[in-house]
């Protein structure tokens, strides 16, 4: 069976966000057919295009033996178990847990419920800073080096701050 590397963005800004992200990482690692390879530190950022408290963010790298759509389905179950609600017509609402599939190997996909690579990750310092921590040599799908993209976003005013370690495995 073929295994793919998946990059997953994690975020939360309601409740004990750091504890929720740690728990979600353990749940991702426990998914049948998945294993957690790397985890960034914990990062804080202000909400983008929304109000509410600051977010805690991270990025994890997984190895998965099933497809992207199945991984997304399982990630959404984890979100639901942590109280994630998706208010109708409200984008970027505060949330207890947000899991975004950023990329899945080299797969390019455009479906109603899933676009890969993630169509807005190049616009989000809260994704790129933790991603650069675990994959500093990675390039965005358009070929831009992650360090250059992060610098561009910081110069445009997006601020993120590393606030500590996150890996729940120690």
Task: Give the separation between CA 47 and CA 53, rounded to whole angstroms.
Answer: 7
**Dihedral sign, CA of 112, 118, 122, 123?**
positive
Q: Are 95 and 12 in contact (CB under 8 A)?
A: yes
Q: Per DSSP, what are the bridge partners of residue 115?
A: 110
Point out the catalytic residue in the list 29, 54, 100, 167: 100
Point out the catalytic residue in the list 44, 74, 95, 124: 95
DSSP state of 129: H
Point out the catalytic residue in the list 44, 74, 98, 124: 98
Point out the catalytic residue in the list 44, 74, 84, 124: 84
Task: Give the separation between CA 37 and CA 22, rounded to whole angstroms.
Answer: 14
- Reduced to 3 states (helix: H, G, I; strand: E, B; else coil), residue 85 is coil
- Rounded (10°) angle between helices 125-134 and 146-155: 150
Active site residue 98: yes
Active site residue 100: yes
Active site residue 84: yes
Q: Are strands 4-12 and 98-104 parallel, antiparallel or unpaired?
A: antiparallel
Q: Are 90 and 51 in contact (CB under 8 A)?
A: no
Give the catalytic positions in this structure: 84, 95, 98, 100
């Amino acid at each position: 069976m073929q295994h793919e590397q998946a990059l997953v963005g994690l975020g939360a800004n309601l409740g004990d966000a750091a504890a929720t992200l740690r728990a979600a990482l353990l749940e991702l690692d426990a998914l049948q057919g998945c294993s957690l390879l790397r985890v960034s530190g914990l990062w804080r950022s202000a909400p983008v295009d929304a109000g509410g408290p600051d977010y805690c963010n991270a990025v994890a790298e997984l190895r998965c033996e099933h497809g992207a759509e199945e991984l997304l389905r399982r990630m959404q179950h984890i979100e639901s178990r942590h109280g994630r609600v998706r208010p109708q017509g409200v984008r970027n609402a505060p949330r207890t847990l947000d899991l975004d599939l950023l990329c899945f190997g080299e797969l390019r996909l455009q479906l109603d419920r899933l676009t890969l690579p993630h169509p807005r990750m190049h616009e989000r310092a809260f994704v790129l800073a933790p991603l650069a921590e675990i994959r500093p040599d990675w390039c965005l799908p358009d070929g831009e080096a992650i360090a250059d993209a992060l610098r561009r976003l910081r110069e445009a005013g997006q601020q993120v701050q590393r606030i500590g370690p996150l890996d729940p495995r120690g």
